[in-house]
Structure 1
């Protein structure tokens, strides 16, 4: 199981050597484990489907399901663009692309049912969505679908090679479908039970494909708990090593310089708490151990 998670990302279906090189260089995703721990930075609510007759300019991102009727090219030179008529039972809008003009009609043939996501705008007096996300309604049923669409950090270089948040979500879903085992637990069973933590496998799945908001919060809590737990454990390990292996300078007695200052020069009376701390410091200085103290 551990060896499987260390498999190079290029062997995951849909990735390949070229995309693997980009994912490694731009996002630090080199193996399956890296992909599982490449967490979304936000989520978009994809629970609602709008009808075309409900759309208005300047609405936030909307999700529609309908059919691409036809494609046609417009403009010339640098202003050349690809447009498509998209319709449902309530009306028709225009979709526009300035990039991907050559491959989009072949990838998403006219006459089929699609789900699109994007921000409506107004162009030429008509509702228009520029560079919408588009997905075959048929293929959507084949992949892991979440009501809250995960959004992942990408770079301009990744986007130029069509490695988008949607692509990262898709290959993450492919990875979960490929695994024939649950991700091994990293925390002791008693600790998981004591703090009512979600299992690691379920937390990783929910953080990528949330089914409900409350489960997403539980997944986040589990992953944050684990990270802070191991940070604290590592700090304790360093402290234990320091206490047992590192020897500090030993100051066996208090010198005359300190005594003269304390009894003759100090212009105020110390509080009992301050006196106690000074005694503790004197004890530490005579112990031979390193002292870490915040005053």
Structure 2
């Protein structure tokens, strides 16, 4: 919202930041303004998904980092207007969305160039035996005046999940690995003012190493941070790893990402190897599609094998395009399938998918 405010400074556009925080009276004020049409542009979190949030004239819905939203959540937001235009944005399309693109239900625009001055992040998968190499490299970047992230999947260690956790590891790293460096901790369970204070210190260069959970996955832009180590890397999705490594190399210097696995065998997995070979979000999404499947196009499952007996969405592209064209021709001539020629088709579609049709164009 700070960027929006800067770009719209001096304009007559009425814009507001809408989050789940703030007083009850402030939230009521925002709901009333939206319902009465006194807001032109709302930059919001999932707080606007609440049932009592209504918009007078919702014309455009933009969802950024769409893989972080569930299908039902995206559907709820779109239903807050009368057929609003709909734009979804992501650096790595999740398999379900990529499959819908193949099916032709989404028009797609691709930004295939890096931002000016931005280089591709160099990624390497390593096992426990190479941990010291990674820490030496991090120290070399710190010596060059740069900053680093170390990412863990958990805030606190648990018996159910015997993984390294951010809280304990922040203490260990500060004591054993970076004793002469300023190490800070950031995670989603901290109070908002605590998180803001840590991030301000990191942005100001007062913290050298930020130990964090995936709370840093989006919305973090620190040009001086050039290296990241992700612990238990095999436990993350490809989309999430791609988003995480996008936090480094955002200035004029190269970015580096070490994906550290639980054991040596995981180093050689094809899934993680994809990230060492490309920074292209669509190629990563395609690989995710092959490995996990596209999910239910008319449901809420975002990955898994589709209900196709023979077809393969990644292999039978020519057949898929022909099916798209046939479907478009049928609907162009008879949008509601009212003709006797299509009665059986309409009955079959309704019988198979029923109430799930609402999710077809959610994306």
TM-score, length-scaled by structure 2: 0.23
Higher strand content, 1 or 2:
1
Please identify the structure whose Cα radius of gyration is greater: 1
Higher relative contact order (Cα pairs below 8 Å, separated by 6+ residues): 2
TM-score, length-scaled by structure 1: 0.27
